[in-house]
Amino acid sequence: MESVSAFKIMSRKFEIIDEERHTQMCQQFYTMNSQLLDIFTATSNDQQSTREDLFNLYPLHPGTANLATHYATVVGSSSRSVFEFLGQNDSIREFLDSEEHFLNRDTITADYLWDYVLKVFQDDVTNYGAVTERYNSYKLQVCNEGAAYFAVFKGILLLNAFNNVSGENNNGLVTPSEDNIHALFAGTCYDSEVDAVLQWFNEQGIIQRAPGGLYSVQFSALPSGEIEEKKNEMRNVQYRYTDQVLNFSDAASTAFEKKMMQKVIRPYGFKFFSDHQNEAVLRSQIKNARKDTKTSAMFFALLMARNNTELGVLRNFAEKCAEDENDKDLKNNVYLVFDEVLTDAKYEQFIEYQANYACASSHGFLDQQKVHRDHAVSMVKEWMSSVQRGNAVVYINGEEKQPISVKHLSSIVNSVISPTIFPYGPDACELLRQKSP
């Protein structure tokens, strides 16, 4: 069933007694939240007619109306149809009879629909087991945080439920993205709390934010015990140190070369490093990596941290190395310490993705394998994008440390860093630099 035609049929379920007052309230709501009309009429062939249908559905929130039409389309339950949701639903009747809801100009939000369809979802484990399992696991914890948390939780689960079964045939309106979540509660009493709720969900692991701003709930046939074992192994071995996160794919190195150093004139080499809780080990790693770079090229030791504690350690380390005149193997290295840290929470999320990837690989689940690896790669890309927007500190040969904006790194390398290391090279001459291709 097309959403636009469903809106029209649904609107007939409401008998409007005071049309003047209803129109006044409806216009007030949509004047303050005009973007909702744009969002939910975008795919209509007759947008004006669809706007009128959404007006007639008030106080049903347009986000709820949209989800209700998806319920009718993908579930197709004859016993609990979308029309019964409005016409034979005690919760809706109580809402409409409530003087408090009327005075507050409240709308019927997506959590009402979740409560109505939950029984259907629970009876269909194949299609909806992932969302009902997540609901049952966390409903008490979320409910204790307050009404906004519980409502947003249910709304996200509905988006996931319909997105998982409809695939790409949903016009993007049931993708569990931050934009769609905000649209579900725009203009409601929960609107101002959505960002805080999403942050709490992510931090508590209720529903974590995937790269691209998705709050996705997927069914997994992977054994949880095996995943936990793999996570512990990765924390202690494969990804014990932050540089291992950066080096697991070419995402970080590509971002550095293509987006931060794309206009550098002189040849250079580089490698990512992080705190290894042993200064001698880190020095040795940098010396060995430097050997692969020609003496006529610059070498960048890119020092990146998981958290602010690591960041402080790396800054002290870089300053010591740059000032060490007795170790010739450290001379002329460029120590670049980036301010933007990964954060412990995102590190744990990376470990989660990699553990699921490893388990999916061992069980031959190719689709899940790809999804989890793609998420891990995207996390590194997002981190590097944040690094590019941030600042860094440059340490060279005991020179005064230089805070820089990373987005200007190429020009700083050409005009300051390269001439500092190679004062008699052609790129030390500004006129020659300007003529460089």
Extract the tokens encoding 324: 């060490």
pLDDT of residue 153: 98
Q: Assess contact for 150 and 193: CB atoms under 8 A.
A: no
Rounded Cα distance, 179 and 279, in Å = 45
CA angle (336, 395, 350) in 5-degree steps: 25
Q: 207, 141, 149, 205: which is closest to 345 by C-alpha?
A: 205
Extract the tokens encoding 192: 């101002």
Rounded Cα distance, 433 and 437, in Å = 9
Burial classification of residue 90, based on how many CB atoms lie within 10 Å of its CB (0-12 exposed, 13-18 middle, 19 or more buried) = exposed
Instruction: Delimit the domains of the chain by residue range.
Output: 3-204, 242-343+386-435
Task: Please give the chain's pLDDT, 437 residues, in tens.
Answer: 455 566 776 766 667 788 888 899 999 999 999 999 999 888 777 888 888 889 888 999 999 999 988 887 776 554 456 667 777 788 988 998 898 998 899 999 999 999 999 988 888 887 888 899 899 999 999 999 999 999 999 999 999 999 888 765 567 889 999 999 999 999 999 999 999 999 999 989 899 898 888 998 876 667 778 889 999 999 999 999 999 999 999 999 999 999 999 999 999 999 999 999 899 999 999 999 999 899 899 999 999 999 999 999 999 999 999 999 888 889 999 999 999 999 998 999 999 899 989 998 888 878 778 888 999 999 999 999 999 999 999 999 988 788 999 999 999 999 999 998 988 666 655 544 455 55
Q: 436, 416, 437: which is closest to 428 by C-alpha?
A: 416
Q: Is the backbone of residue 272 left (phi > 0), alpha (psi -120 to 50) or beta?
A: beta
Centre a 10 Å sphere on the Cβ of residue 46 and count the other Cβ atoms it contains. Answer: 11
pLDDT of residue 86: 74
Q: With b meaning 16 or more CB within 10 Å and e meaning fewer, what string describes 294-323?
A: eeeebbbbbbbbbeeebbebbbebbbebbe
Rounded Cα distance, 218 and 318, in Å = 43
